[in-house]
Amino acid sequence: MKNLRIASITLLLGLSACTSRDDQNFMALLALANGETSTVQGEIPVEVNISDVTGDPSFVFDTTRSIGVYVTVRDPISPASGSLVQILETSGSSTGEVIFQAVVSPEGNVQGSFTVNQTVNKVTLRVTIGGQLYTWLIDISNVEEIRRYLLVTAEITPITIVDSDQDGIADTDDAYPNDATRSAIVRLPTDGYYTVAYEDLFPTQGDADFNDYVAEIRYEEDLNASGQIKNIRGYVRHVARGAGYRHTLQLTLPGVNNATFSLKRYGFDDTTVESDSTGVLTAFEHVELMPNSGTTIQSDNTTKGQIYKPGKRAEFEVSLATPVAAESLGTMPFDLHLNVVNTGKKIHFAGRYLDANGKDLYLDPAGFPWAILVPGTWLWPVETQNTHVAYPAFKSWYESAGTTNLDWYRSPLADKVFQR
Ligand SMILES: [Ca+2]
Ligand SMILES: [Ca+2]
């Protein structure tokens, strides 16, 4: 029978207090005092210092957010080498997918970030130390960075793990047990697709129907054992074009050089391969994922009563020459932008390009963007309607800077949106 113990946690008040343990500066705060629950399966008690950073990041119509992870694991003698740090998306009492994974550095540190939908307010921090499993449920509602210092209160006896590729991640936790450059697959979003929707009149203000160009996209990231991105796969489909203009859909990954890029495009029947190419890109800038929008959709899919006909789809994979921190690629959906063939303008999501005075180039004078991302299969407004009318909670959401009506996109007026 397993001998379960509650973590020994010291609550110290004030800087003058310190422990007499090896680390004089160690201050352990009671996890429960932070509104968290801690489940400890390990035999050896672990003290936790919580220094999570909270706050409200600037709002640019985000429906997802990225949260930093800084975890240190050590025992009284040394860094707890080999410890595995994982973050799992959590809903209610059900623990979902791994959305971040890394083994600690020789100094006992893990540093990285993960992305969740704004509607997700809990994650599970799971740490495997010397073969023992420790989990903490963390309320991330107001958290920008998870910062935890874990001190195992006794010396850890190293255990032998089966690690076929010797990347530090046990085969049982390694999505690629025979590939030392990769160890985890993170899906964005964890379920289904994101819908990206663009207004194509930039720099002129649009009519906010967000149906000029609509696509579904999901990504998969392969992380290396340090939690950096090694590969990115993307699955994209054109789903609506309520516009007279023609467009191409492009992707920029800043700082990604000499990556190997492969792209496969399919026909309307979903199975015929129309093109299949692989090459090395010196810089990953304005890479065309979807060709001219006049060729990728059979029906505009924006007229009320019309039968939905899916557009063409493409799959791609970027294999990075040098792995990068997820943070360096920016928030979802990365820098996925619309190139308007007729005007020569590129339309980006807000929050990425600022002028010399710090003004966002992709917010109009009313502070409104030309591109939005919505988690899930979103129903865009039909012609002559706009998002304000079709989604009654939309305005409250952005006027509250994203603090209320976080799931505004789930409650349309049925006759104002395109049914599919
Ligand atoms: Ca491994
Ligand atoms: Ca591996």
Residue segments in the chain with a per-residue pLDDT below the cut of 70 = 1-42
Strands 122-129 and 132-139: antiparallel
Outline where 100-233 has alpha helix (H): none
- In angstroms, what is the span from residue 100 Cα to ligand 2's centroid? 14
SS3 181: coil
Residue 353, Cβ density class (10 Å: 0-12 exposed, 13-18 middle, ≥19 buried): middle
- In angstroms, what is the span from residue 223 Cα to ligand 2's centroid? 9
- In angstroms, what is the span from residue 39 Cα to ligand 1's centroid? 26
Give CA separation, 391 vs 308, 382, 400, 412, in Å: 20, 12, 15, 5
- Cβ atoms 243, 212 nearer than 8 A: yes
- In angstroms, what is the span from residue 164 Cα to ligand 2's centroid? 8
Q: For residues 391 and 311, give the distance between their C-alpha atoms in angstroms, rounded to a whole number.
A: 24
φ/ψ (deg, to 5) at 414: -55, -35
Strands 143-152 and 64-74: parallel
| Structure tokens that stand for 259 in this block | 């990556």
Residue 142, Cβ density class (10 Å: 0-12 exposed, 13-18 middle, ≥19 buried): exposed
Q: Which residues contact 282 (CB under 8 A, 6 or more apart)?
A: 257, 258
In single-letter form, the type of residue at position 394 comes to F
Q: What is the DSSP letter of 42?
A: -
Q: For residues 225 and 183, give the distance between their C-alpha atoms in angstroms, rounded to a whole number.
A: 6
- In angstroms, what is the span from residue 121 Cα to ligand 1's centroid? 31
| Structure tokens that stand for 25 in this block | 């500066």
Ligand nearest to the CA of 183: 2
What pLDDT does residue 5 have? 32
- In angstroms, what is the span from residue 180 Cα to ligand 1's centroid? 6
What pLDDT does residue 40 have? 60
- Cβ atoms 374, 408 nearer than 8 A: no
What pLDDT does residue 38 have? 56
What pLDDT does residue 42 have? 64
With CA atoms as reference, report the closest residue to 235 among 349, 337, 318, 119: 318
User: What does 358-375 look like in DSSP terms, one character per residue?
Assistant: S-BTTB-TTS-BSEEEEE
Q: What is the DSSP letter of 118?
A: T
Q: What is the residue extent of each domain of the chain?
A: 31-160, 186-416
What CATH fold (topology level) applies to the domain 31-160?
A: Immunoglobulin-like (2.60.40)
Ligand nearest to the CA of 164: 1
- Cβ atoms 114, 398 nearer than 8 A: no
Residues bordering ligand 1, an ion, CB closer than 5 Å:
163, 165, 167, 169, 174
Ligand nearest to the CA of 103: 1
- pTM value? 0.90
- In angstroms, what is the span from residue 174 Cα to ligand 1's centroid? 5
- In angstroms, what is the span from residue 190 Cα to ligand 2's centroid? 21
- Cβ atoms 215, 249 nearer than 8 A: yes
Positive or negative CA dihedral for 380, 415, 119, 393? positive
Helices and strands, number each (H, E), in the chain = 2, 22
What share of residues in the chain are helix, strand, coil (percent, to 5)? 5, 40, 55
